[in-house]
């Protein structure tokens, strides 16, 4: 992948070291968690004063939020509020967009992923992504899942076979495809294709999985399968999901971030809260209006 | 407004709650009036009309459940509808208290033993007034009012104690009226319990407005059990 676009990077003036940043994000989260009477939660990722520009247009305006480890965090908000931009900023997918420029930080395990010494391929391995439309490669089920591990240098057939089976099992697809590993991934149903894409994403053992409306193109049963799968995956992974389906966010996520467009049409974070709190008694009036369908 | 159906349904349900409330208020006033006049025909009507209160309560409950299933209410809408479920249960139970008083009037029949009707009428007026204001606060989501109303039951408690003392004195003076006095204690007990349940409605008003489920201090826990099942 050719990443030529340089990005400006500014540390928040109040934060001088990553260590301090880590401590601070933990503190704010713990405070919130305490308020919501949840147990102590470590932070896996954090956006700190994150702004994203497409040319002159500012798509995101100084987003600061923590992503708790082994939890599902949902990003919700009206169309154009920047939630997909934010999701893509978490694994530098925006680097691929011409004219895109990022300010602020995305911290993964205490390290800013936009630091100049960071290898973007390494980031994409640690932060995987699943898209709205299932997009299996035009190759066999086996090769789809083995694609990433091969890319990272694994050649031994036995090990690849183990990874493929393990990944397909984790993606709750093994029982359905174990006898057709050599068939084309494109021959599977939509819901199976999406689970294949999830298996492909987890085959490289990421720490975080980003999901951009992963069930939007699926029927209700396949949707519920994906949701059940996410629930089981969070045991091993941290998941961030963009969804337009409010009930889906309410069903599956532990935390919810609500984004909206501010006066200058940039996406801002209005509220970040435990999902249980957000959907029964949100702190912000704008959140209330949006989730109850009174605007947006 | 993108949620016209839900909004319209919620307004309709609020009207229905007020209607149920006024049925209960009327039942209580009629029950006490029937006792005062020892009018067994009127008491019989209160007794039978309790069925209408029950029907109204189940009709509202059914409608709320349909909204849960079809409209997926959340946040304020959810709290409001959940609170309506609680409030209609309280109202139905208050209706049972009125029915209980009517039943006592039927039992007393033409027994002419004096009844402390001045205290009982006053208690009934106070309890019905509290209920009326509590339902207004419920619809208006008026938290201040919801906090104030439960304090009003001090006078009801005082009247209850007065009737109790009177009754004990009367029973000592004339043990033959023990059964009658016992029935009168049930009458004032029912009114006193009605006022306690008004406090529960006020708690739900606070819940709708703030999301917090709190117990208002003035609620009378020592009577808070189900011994008064009709």
Q: Which pLDDT belongs to residue B4?
A: 83
Q: What is the pTM of this model?
A: 0.80
> Is pLDDT of B224 > 60?
no
Of the listed ranges A21-35, B150-164, B188-202, the one predicted with least confidence: A21-35
**Residues whose CB falls within 8 Å of the CB of residue B33, separated by 6 or more in sequence, listed in order:** B39, B42
Do the Cβ atoms of A288 and B211 come within 8 Å?
no
**Residues whose CB falls within 8 Å of the CB of residue A241, separated by 6 or more in sequence, listed in order:** A72, A73, A74, A75, A210, A211, A212, A213, A214, A230, A249, A252, A253
Local confidence band at A26 (pLDDT 50, 70, 90 cut-offs)? low
> Is pLDDT of A13 > 70?
no
CA distances from B98 to B118, B188, B220 (A): 17, 11, 20
Residue of A nearest to B4 (CA): A294
Flag whether residue B6 sits within 8 Å of chain A, measured between CB atoms.
yes
Do the Cβ atoms of A293 and B6 come within 8 Å?
yes
On chain B, the residues whose CB falls within 8 A of the CB of A282 are: 75
- Write the ipTM: 0.73
> Is pLDDT of A122 > 80?
yes
**Triad A219, A223, A229: Cα angle to 5°:** 150
Minimum distance, in Å, between the CA of residue A154 and any CA atom of chain B = 48
Q: Which pLDDT belongs to residue A38?
A: 42
Minimum distance, in Å, between the CA of residue B15 and any CA atom of chain A = 21
> Is pLDDT of A140 > 90?
yes
The tokens describing A47, both together, are 């956006």
CB-closest option in B2, B72, B211 to A281: B211
Residue of A nearest to B75 (CA): A280
Local confidence band at B3 (pLDDT 50, 70, 90 cut-offs)? confident
Do the Cβ atoms of B75 and A293 come within 8 Å?
no
Taking only residues 197 to 256 of chain A, the set having a beta carbon closer than 8 angstroms to any beta carbon of chain B reads 246-247, 250
Flag whether residue A281 sits within 8 Å of chain B, measured between CB atoms.
yes
Asked if A259 and A269 count as a contact pair (C-beta separation under 8 A), the reply is yes
pLDDT in tens, B37-68: 999 999 999 999 999 999 999 999 999 999 99
Residue of A nearest to B207 (CA): A281
Mean pLDDT of chain A: 88
pLDDT in tens, A160-192: 999 999 999 999 999 999 999 999 999 999 999
Q: What is the largest CA-CA distance in chain B?
A: 70
Q: What top-level class would CATH report for the domain B4-223? A: mainly alpha
Backbone angles phi, psi at A12, to 5 degrees: -60, 130
Minimum distance, in Å, between the CA of residue B16 and any CA atom of chain A = 23
Local confidence band at B127 (pLDDT 50, 70, 90 cut-offs)? very high
**Domains assigned to chain A:** 18-291 (3.40.50.300)
Flag whether residue A293 sits within 8 Å of chain B, measured between CB atoms.
yes
Average pLDDT score over residue span B141-158 = 96
Closest by CA to B207, choosing from B89, B94, B81, is: B81
Minimum distance, in Å, between the CA of residue B75 and any CA atom of chain A = 4
Minimum distance, in Å, between the CA of residue A284 and any CA atom of chain B = 11
On chain A, the residues whose CB falls within 8 A of the CB of B79 are: 280-281
Domain boundaries, chain B: 4-223
């Amino acid at each position: 992948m050719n990443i030529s676009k340089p990005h400006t990077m500014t540390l928040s003036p109040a934060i001088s070291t990553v260590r301090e940043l880590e401590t601070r994000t933990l503190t704010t989260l713990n405070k919130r968690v305490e308020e919501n009477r949840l147990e102590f939660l470590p932070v896996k990722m954090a956006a700190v004063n994150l702004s994203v520009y497409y040319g002159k247009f500012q798509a995101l305006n100084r987003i600061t939020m923590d992503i708790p480890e082994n939890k599902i965090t949902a990003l919700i908000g009206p169309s154009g509020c920047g939630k997909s931009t934010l999701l893509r900023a978490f694994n530098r997918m925006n680097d691929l967009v011409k004219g895109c420029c990022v300010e602020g930080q995305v911290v993964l395990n205490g390290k800013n992923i936009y630091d100049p010494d960071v290898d973007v391929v390494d980031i994409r391995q640690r932060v995987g992504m699943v898209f709205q439309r299932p997009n299996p490669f035009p190759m066999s089920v086996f090769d789809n899942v083995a694609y990433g591990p091969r890319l990272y240098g694994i050649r031994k057939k036995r090990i690849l076979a183990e990874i493929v089976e393990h990944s397909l099992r984790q993606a709750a697809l093994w029982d359905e495809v174990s006898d057709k590993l050599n068939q084309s991934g494109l021959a599977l149903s939509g819901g199976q294709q999406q689970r294949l894409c999830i298996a492909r994403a987890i085959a490289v053992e990421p720490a975080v999985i980003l999901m951009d409306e992963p069930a939007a193109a699926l029927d209700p049963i396949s949707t519920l399968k994906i949701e059940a799968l996410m629930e089981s995956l969070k045991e091993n992974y941290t998941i961030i999901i963009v969804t337009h389906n409010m009930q889906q966010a309410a069903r599956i996520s532990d935390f919810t971030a609500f984004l909206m467009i501010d006066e200058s049409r940039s996406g801002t974070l209005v509220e970040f809260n435990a999902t249980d709190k957000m959907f029964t008694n949100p702190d912000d009036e704008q959140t209330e209006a949006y989730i109850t369908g009174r605007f947006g | 407004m993108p949620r016209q159906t839900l909004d319209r349904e919620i307004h309709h349900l609020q009207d229905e709650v007020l209607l149920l409330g006024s049925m209960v208020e009327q039942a209580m006033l009629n029950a006490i009036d029937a006792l005062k006049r020892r009018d067994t025909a009127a008491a019989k009507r209160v007794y039978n009309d309790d069925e209408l209160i029950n029907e109204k309560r189940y009709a509202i409950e059914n409608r709320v459940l349909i909204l849960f299933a079809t409209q997926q209410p959340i946040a304020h809408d959810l709290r409001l509808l959940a609170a309506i479920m609680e409030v209609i249960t309280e109202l139905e139970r208050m209706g049972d208290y009125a029915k209980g008083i009517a039943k006592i009037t039927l039992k007393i029949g033409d027994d002419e033993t004096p009844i402390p009707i001045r205290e009982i009428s006053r208690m009934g007026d106070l309890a019905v007034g509290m209920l009326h204001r509590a339902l207004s606060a419920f619809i208006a989501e008026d938290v201040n009012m919801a906090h104030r109303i439960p304090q009003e039951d001090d006078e009801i408690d005082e009247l209850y104690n007065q009737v109790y003392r009177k009754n004990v004195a009367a029973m000592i003076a004339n043990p033959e009226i023990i059964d009658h006095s016992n029935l009168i204690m049930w009458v004032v007990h029912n009114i006193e319990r009605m006022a306690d349940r008004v406090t529960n409605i006020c708690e739900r008003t606070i819940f709708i407005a703030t999301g917090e489920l709190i117990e208002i201090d003035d609620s009378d826990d020592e009577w808070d059990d189900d011994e008064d099942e009709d």
